[in-house]
Structure 1
C-alpha cells in the first residue's frame, strides 16, 4: 500500500518495526468480556484511539468511499497512531498486562461497546463501523489466521450458532461447482478437488440473492473466496446481540465512578462527532440564506434526497400520505425552512385534492403539524430524521416511508431513480447493485453524485461531494451545487 508521503509505509509491514498497532490486530468475534485490570489513563488512551478510527471510517462511509479507499485510510491512520505512540512514549503508561496488542484490542472494543450500548442510534453507529473494521482485518489476514478463527468459533459455539464446516467436493463427480466457480471468478479451480464451507442457506441471504451459491438439503456451499462475506455477516449479528445483552447490564458500570466518567466522556465525544458531521441545524440554512418557502417546493423537489423525493411524488399522485410518511417528510420540510403556517397550507392544499374537507383536516391532521413545530403537546421543536433513523424504520407493505434503497425491489428502485433524474442506465444499475448488497448509504451517496441537478449532470466528486448523509444537509449541498454550476 502506497501513501502520498514518500516515507510512509503500510502499518501491516513489519520490515522496519515489529510493533503492530493494537487496532491492526487479527480479526476476532469478542466472545468473552475482558478480565484484565488496568489504570484509568491506559483505558482512556486505547478507547480514544479506537473511537478516532471508527470516526474516520464513518466519515469515509458517509462520502460513499469504496472499500479500497477505506482500506488506505485505515492503514494510514494506524501507521500515524503507531508513530505518535512511539514519539510520545504512550507505551510508558500501559501496564505489562496491557502491553500485548490482543489485550488492548479486546479492552478498547468492550469499552466502546459499554459506552454505546445505551442508545439505539449510538448502537447502530458503533455496529456499522466496527463491522467495517472487522472486514478490513479479514481482508488483510492470511488464510491460516482465518482458519484459526473458524476453529475457535467452532470450539466455542454449538452447531446451531455457527453451523460452519469444511467439506471437499470432487469436481469429476460434481461438475456443477466447477461451473459456478468459473462463472463467478472467470477461471476454473486449480485442482479437481475443491474445499468448500457448508452453512445453513438462511445465513447467506446476499449470496442467495445473487445466485452465487449452490443449495443442497438446506445448506449453502461457499467457496473460500466467499467466506469473508459470511463471517462479516455473522460478526454483525453476534455484535448486535451482544450490545442488547450489555445494555441490560450497563448499570454495573455506572456504580464505578471513574469508569462511568470515562464512558460518559466517550459518549460526549461521539455525540460531538455525530453533531458535527452527521446532523443538521436550521441555523445553518438561515445563516446561508438558503431556507426555502412554499413557492420553492416544485423546483426544490429534485434537490431532495431520494427518500423525500419519493414521498413528494406519492403525495402528488395520491394527495395523501400515512402517518409515518407525513412525519418523515414533514420534519424534513420544516428544517428546509417551511414555517408552520406554510406547512399547514401545503398539507391542507394537497389533502383537499384527495377529497379531505377543510374541517376534517383541521380536526385530524393540523394538530400533528403544530406539534412538530413545538406549538402543541410538550412544546418541543422536533428535529428531522437522520439517514440512520430512516434506514432503521421498517414500514409495512402499504406505507411509503423509510429508505427506498432498502425497501424497494430492483425494478421499482430503477424506475424511481429514472424519475429522479439518473438517466444513465449503467449508473442506475450500479446504484441498484449497491442497494441489493445492503450498502444503502453508499447507494445514496452514488445517487447524490450521479443524478442530474436541473439541466446539469453532477457525476464527479469535484462537482458534488456531499460531506454528510443527513437528508437536510444533502438537500442544501445539492442546492449549493446547482448555484456553483450556474455561476461557473
Structure 2
C-alpha cells in the first residue's frame, strides 16, 4: 500500500494534480482547454488509440499549415488562413461520427459536448507521454498544440465568455477599473481598437505581451500593456506554451515511474509514425510523368477533403458495407485510377475492404479481373476513362442496392439534406442547392456551389467532372498551405500563383463514351452479388 501511495504521488507530479476535483471540473467545461488537470477513470487501449489517432489527424493539419508559414515569407495568419485551417479541422478524419474539434466548436454557447471533452483531454494527456521524450518532439508538439488553441480562440463567439474561461483556468490577469477606463477614454482615441464602454480591458506586464505589441494592438503606459479581451489571443497562447513546456519537462523527469516503455509508449510511437510521418511522406509524391501519386493510406483523408459528393458517397458506402455493386465499382475504380492510384494499389485497396466479407480466393476470382480491366490489362486492353458528370447523371440510374449516381440528381430531398449536413454545409447553402436542384434541375451548378462551400478561400469553378473537382480541390489546399495571398490579393491572383506550381489536369481522362464504355456494357454486370443489399444511397 505504501508503494502504491508513493507511486500515485509521483504520477501526480508527472501529469498534474489529480486531487483537485474543482480544477478538473473547470478544465474542459468550455471549448477552450488548457489541460491543467488529467482525466480520471479507465479506458481500453483500443479506445486510447482511437482518441490519439483522432488528435494526431488534427495536429497533422496544423503541421501542414505551419509548414506553409515557414515556406513563404508572405504567408501571414490572416483571416483566410484561419478560415482554411478551421475548415480543414472541422472535416478532419475521425473514427467517431464527428471529430472532437467539430463537436467542441459547434457546442452551445461555448460549452463542450461531454464525449468530445473526454476525447480531447484524454488524447492530449496521452500524447504528452510520448512527446516529452526528446527536445525535437517537444518542440513539434508544443507548436502544433498552440496552433490548435489559437484557431479555437479566434472564434468571435467566445469573446463574451473569455474572461470567465481565463479566470477558471488560473489566468490571473487584472481587469482595469471603470474609473481607469474612463481616464483612458478621455486621453486616448480608442477608435482603432474598437473600444466601447462595455469592453473588457486587461492590464498585463509589458514583457508578457510582446507579440500583441508587435501587432500594435495595445496601449503602453508605465511598463504595462492595456489589451482588449478579443486581442488576448497571442498573450494566452504564449502563456499556454510556457505552461505546456514546463509540464512536458516534468513528464520526462518522471516518465520512468509509469513503467510504460514496453506497452503504451511503443503504441504511441507507432501511431505517430502511421499518422504524422506517413502523412508527411504522402503529401506530394509523384510518378515519372510528374503527376501526383495516391496510395491506399491516403484515400480516407482525401475523401473528406477533396472527393466530389458522388465519389465520397460511394467511398462511405464501401467503408460501411465492404462491398460495391458493378457500377459503383466501375465509377469509383476509374475515378481512383484518374487521381493517381496504381493498379497494384487499387487491387490492394479493394481486396482489403472486400475480404472483410469475402474470402481472398472469391475476391481474386470474381473481382480482380474487373479492376485489371479498368487499367487496360485484361480483355481488349483498352485503358478506361473516368466518367464525366453528364454521363453519371444521365446513364444507368441507380437502382435499389446501388451506390453510384449523382447525389444532387438521384437522392430525394431528405437524403440529400442528410448528406449535406453530414459534410458540414450550413442550412442557407443547403437551401440554395436544393433550389438549384428542384427549380432549375442544374445538378452541376449545385455541385459547383458545394465546391465553393468546401473551399471558401478559392475562386469559384464550374464542375463538369469528378476528377476535375478533385484536381481543383488539391490546388485549393496547395494554395492554402503553401502560397496564400497577401491581404488585398484577389481570387484571380490565387489562381495565377497556383497554375505556375501545379500542372494542369490531364484532360484525356474526361473523354466521353468510347470503346471502353461499349466493352463494359457487354460485360456481365454483377457476377458476384448473390445476397440482397439494402438501398445504400441513403446516408442514414
Using the size of structure 1 for normalisation, the TM-score is 0.45
- The structure whose Rg is larger is 2
